[in-house]
Structure 1
Amino acid sequence: MRKQWKKLLVIAILLIVIVGFFIPVPYYITKPGSAEELEPLVRVSGHTSKSKGSLSLVTIAMAEANIYTYGLAKLLPYHELEKESDVRLDHETNEEYNVRQMYMMNESKNNAIQVAYKAAGQDVKIKYDGIYVMSVLDDVPAAKYLHAGDLITKIDGKAFKSSNEFISYVKGKKQGDKVNVQFVHNKKKQQAGIELTKIDKKGTTGIGITLVDDEKIETSPKVEIDSEKIGGPSAGLMFSLEIYSRFQKEDLTAGKKIAGTGTISPDGEVGRIGGIDQKVVAADKEGATIFFAPNDEITKATKKDNPGIKSNYQEAKETAKEIDTKMKIIPVKTFQDAVEYLEKLQK
């Protein structure tokens, strides 16, 4: 009898432990990820890498928390807990969050290509490709047909040159009108007659989607970036440096292992990113000797709203000191700042 009770107790404890892994808490856990070398991810037709060193982007690992990992994250260094509401937008599903991350990565790649090709004196053009669907309201007729990540190419047989033209066309119609929407879903062309509806309290007529312009970059020579497993915009700077390096006669890395982070705008400005401390830890773990950090300006207004805020560069320097790394932290405000630093390495 006692043996049976012991078995039942052990089984009950195991069940409680197992169930604990599946009890969600409204938090995400982020921690240092890895440094991914860009050489195998970037292909420029007719231009192979000359680097004996490497240029790497740096990732942050993120996962939904459960009751065990939540407690563990409070104990481990450089593990952060973020509320779901701080990660996802209001009413944003996991699918829509992932689509938004992929869109930001695609926009980052496009900006990186523009910056690198212009700096290298190569041909680059921007082509408007259609309307990229970021999210769809749950209670609208369009929800039967459209999904986050779809590409709308035409409305009533008309192609548009910008999302503003698209919005103006739809606003000119009335609630209950139907429009024929041609779109691409999972790489397949489709079309549907979608009834327009009121999309806000003001009575605005629309399809019921949030959208952005989808742009494609046309280059000569052709460039391809494999980033299917990476989301977000923070690899922009490093992508631009890797692409630019393919057009240089000398090894831009001077044989060194270089990592970094930062968004990139079409004019080459490097922008602030989140989790800079975790990225410094990840880069050091992978053996990087140089780390580019955005040297973003903290305005008085920003400081007032968030008194403890620091620039990415300042936080990166402090983290490097904490982990006692020999990795050099280099501040950059622009793409050109990074290029000039790398050119000095070759002298």
Structure 2
Amino acid sequence: MKKRMYVVAFFFGVIVALLLIFIKFPYYVTMPGTAQDLKPLVHVEHGDDDEGTFMLTTVKMGRANAISYFLAHVRSFYELYPLEEIKQEGETDEEYTMRQLQLMEQSKEAAIAVAYKKAGKPVSYKAKGVYVMSVLPHMPAEGQLKVGDRIIKIDGKRMDTSEQMVQYIRTKKKGDKVHITFVRGKKEKEATLTLMPFAHNPKQIGIGVSLTTDYDIATNPPVRIDSEQIGGPSAGLMFSLEIYNQLVEEDITKGHKIAGTGTINMNGEVGPIGGISQKIVAADREGAEIFFAPNENGAADSNYREAVKTAKKIGTKMKIVPVDTFDDAIRYLENLK
């Protein structure tokens, strides 16, 4: 009898555990991730092997289950976000992942361009098509286009940049049809869509997608960034610093362990990111001595100010450095002992 009770209790426990793990709540939970040395990820041909370290910081994120939902209410630096704050309306998990990976590709392209220009090395980039970043529900593109599709032609006219495509659409009117030629995976596909107004802006018509230009960058010496499955644009600043450090003869880290975060654009401007507090915790755990944080031109609620508060809260000796541009970070490093 007791044996049977133990078996029943065991299976009941297993069922409860599975429910706690696999039943998902309508939230995402984020927590401190890692601070990873960038040298194994960034490969400049014949680049310098420097003593110091630039580090990429990450935030771990996943759909909340009962366990992680509970932990988010009792553990420091665990945060809950409703689904609609993370994913766009109507966006699937696959589309969200594709969008994050594409944002990473844009971030790498900008980082390469900024670093090579600063180092005085040859770099050129050529637009080669338009990527779909999101598809709005209840618009013509829904069910026809997917996140990650590369649009190459409209009505037989080649579209190399998102600006070209937007300008062409503006020459049309409500009810006009446009013939889209696009690439999905390795296959070329076609779709004919009828233009209609956007719900949030009835005066503007379109097919219901957000777009980004796909660039092909050529450099001398060649460079490769192995970002694996890291998504999002927040590694841009640190990628640019690591690339630049491999291009120049001196070690701009001066032997220090330097972490940081921030988006970067083709002009070298650094933008804010999410999860700055969690990234401070991750960098401190890995022994970083310096952390670059987006300053947002001194805004009261900037990433930098939040980073300083978190650093004080956890009692780290890590120096938090505000940056608005790539050049700000370089100037700080040039004065570093």
Using the size of structure 2 for normalisation, the TM-score is 0.89
- Deviation track 1:262-312 (CA, whole Å, cap 9, x = no partner) reads 11122222222221111111011112111111222355xxx6xxxxx3x22
Letter in 1 for 2:297: E
Secondary structure, counterpart of 2:26 in structure 1: strand
Q: In structure 2, what is the equivalent of residue 87 of structure 1?
A: 86
Residue equivalent to 2:282: 282
Partner Cα distance (1:254, 1:148) in 2: 42
1:75 aligns with 2:74: yes
> Aligned partners of 1:190 and 1:203: how far apart in 2?
32
Identity of matched residues, %: 49
Judge which range, 15-24 or 247-256, deviates more.
15-24
Q: Which runs of 5+ in 1 are unaligned?
A: 304-308
Query: Hey, what's the Cα distance between the residues in 2 that align with 1:2 and 1:247?
Result: 71
The one of 315, 326, 330 equivalent to 1:324 is: 315
> Which amino acid letter does the alignment assign opposite residue 335 of structure 2?
K
Equivalent residues in 2 for 1:125-164, closer than 5 Å: 125-137=124-136, 143=142, 145-164=144-163
Q: How much does 1:208 deviate?
A: 4.1
Q: Give CA deviations for 1:152-174 in whole Å, capped at 9, x if unaligned.
A: 11234321243243244456377
Structure 1 partner of 2:273: 273
**Alpha-carbon contact 2:57-2:260 (below 8 Å) kept:** yes
- 1:342, CA displacement in angstroms? 1.5
Decide whether aligned partners of structure 1 residues 170 and 336 sit closer, same or farther in structure 2, where only a CA change above 3 A counts.
closer
Equivalent residue letter for 2:85: D
Q: Does structure 1 residue 335 correspond to structure 2 residue 326?
A: yes
**2:293 aligns to what SS in structure 1?**
strand
Q: Which residue number corresponds to residue 233 of structure 2? A: 233
Q: Which amino acid counterpart does residue 321 of structure 1 have in structure 2? A: K
The 1-side partners of 2:78 and 2:184 are apart by 37
Equivalent residue pairs, number: 334
Could you tell me which amino acid in structure 1 is paired with residue 322 of structure 2?
Answer: P
Distance 2:208 2:316 in 1: 51
**TM-fit CA distance, 1:217:** 2.2
Q: Deviations over 1:8-60 (max 9, x none)?
A: 35433432332232221111111110011111111223x32331121111000
Which residue in the other structure is 1:98 paired with?
97
Contact 1:160 1:166 in 2 (8 A): yes
1:297-337: per-residue Cα shift (whole Å, max 9, x none)? 355xxx6xxxxx3x222222222222222222222222112
1:38 aligns to what?
Answer: 38
Contact 1:39-1:49 at 8 Å conserved across structures:
no
- Any conservation in 1 of the 2:89–2:137 contact (CA below 8 Å)? no
> Could you tell me whether the CA contact under 8 Å between 1:134 and 1:209 is conserved in 2?
yes
Contact 1:152 1:183 in 2 (8 A): yes
User: Are the equivalent residues in 2 in contact too, given 1:32–1:78 (CA < 8 A)?
Assistant: yes
Cα pair 1:136 1:148 within 8 Å, conserved: yes
Q: Pairwise CA RMSD of aligned residues?
A: 2.5
Aligned partners of 1:141 and 1:265: how far apart in 2?
31
Matched letter for residue 99 of structure 1: M
Cα distance, 1:205–1:274 mapped onto 2, change above 3 Å: closer
Say whether 1:53 aligns with 2:52: yes
CA contact (8 A) 2:141 2:193 kept: yes
Determine the C-alpha separation between the residues in 2 that align with 1:246 and 1:189: 37
For the residues of structure 1 that align with 2:206 and 2:66, how far apart are their CA atoms? Answer: 42
Which residues of structure 2 form unaligned runs of 5+?
Answer: none
After superposition, what is the alpha-carbon deviation per residue over 1:103-148, rounded to whole angstroms, capped at 9, x for unaligned? 2212211221121111111222231111101233566675555321
Letter in 1 for 2:237: L
Q: 1:333 to 1:164 in 2, by over 3 A?
A: closer
8 Å CA contact 1:289–1:328 kept in 2: the answer is yes
Q: What CA distance in whole angstroms lies between the structure 1 residues aligned with 2:203 and 2:307?
A: 48
Task: Identify which of 180, 188, 191 aligns with 2:189.
Answer: 191
Contact 1:142 1:194 in 2 (8 A): no
Give 1:95 shift: 1.9
Q: Which amino acid in 2 is paired with 1:102?
A: L
Counterpart secondary structure, 2:297: coil
Distance of 1:153 and 1:220 partners within structure 2: 28
Task: Tell whether the 8 Å contact from 2:91 to 2:135 is kept in structure 1 after alignment.
Answer: no
> What is the match of residue 120 of structure 2?
121
1:203 positional shift? 9.1
Distance 1:143 1:314 in 2: 41
1:242 deviates by 0.7
SS in 2 for 1:82: strand
1:26 maps to what in 2? 26
Separation in 1, partners of 2:173, 2:322:
51
Task: Measure how far apart 1:178 and its partner are.
Answer: 6.2
